[in-house]
Amino acid sequence: MNLMSKNNDQATNEIIRLMQTDKSVDAPADAIHWSKNIFRARAAEPKKSVLEKVLAVLQMDLSPNRAAFGERSASASQARQMLFQVGENALDIRIAKTEKAFDLHGQILGEGFANCTVKLGEFETTANELGEFKLAKIPSGNYNLSVQKDEKEIVIEDLELK
């Protein structure tokens, strides 16, 4: 039976019947109050972090002016170059010393880290679509480098700039 298929009188009579047989009552006030409070109470609880944090493993560390195995010495970089492996991703980092500080260039290789957030201590930048990033004029010191996208974070601990 569909109300829409009824004529006006039938529809009105059906509405009246439903109202006259409506025996519902409001829930007790304290139960309503409790139900409303769920929102405030739960919203105030700190959300558990679901961030998956993984430590990168150093695969290769080339000092400045030192060629990689199999390369001519002439091709050696002026920067220190390091390659870290994290599951199916790799993190390529080049640290170049400038007059008073360091420039850090890097690229996160593999899927899932395009436009990721890169943090080196208190310094922060965003990678491009290819996962390339640059942090310039970083004072010497030891830093934790973190590369984060969505719920995945890759961390390199105690990266030394000297």
CB of 124 to other proteins, least distance (A): 26
CB of 73 to other proteins, least distance (A): 58
Q: Give every CB contact of residue 99 below 8 A, 6+ residues apart in sequence.
A: none
Decide: residue 1, CB within 10 A, 0-12 exposed, 13-18 middle, 19+ buried: exposed
Q: Which range of residues in 25-33, 80-88, 94-102, 125-133 is near other proteins by CB under 8 A? A: 25-33
Report the residue number, 1 or 74, with the smaller CB distance to other proteins: 1
Report the residue number, 4 or 74, with the smaller CB distance to other proteins: 4
Type of residue at 130 = L
H or E element at residue 19: helix 8-20
Contacts of other proteins in 36-95 (CB under 8 A): 36, 38-40, 42-43
Structure tokens at 65: 């002016």
The phi, psi pair for 51, rounded to 5°, reads: -65, 130
**Under the rule (CB under 8 A), what is the footprint of other proteins?**
1-4, 8, 11-12, 14-16, 18-28, 30-32, 34-36, 38-40, 42-43
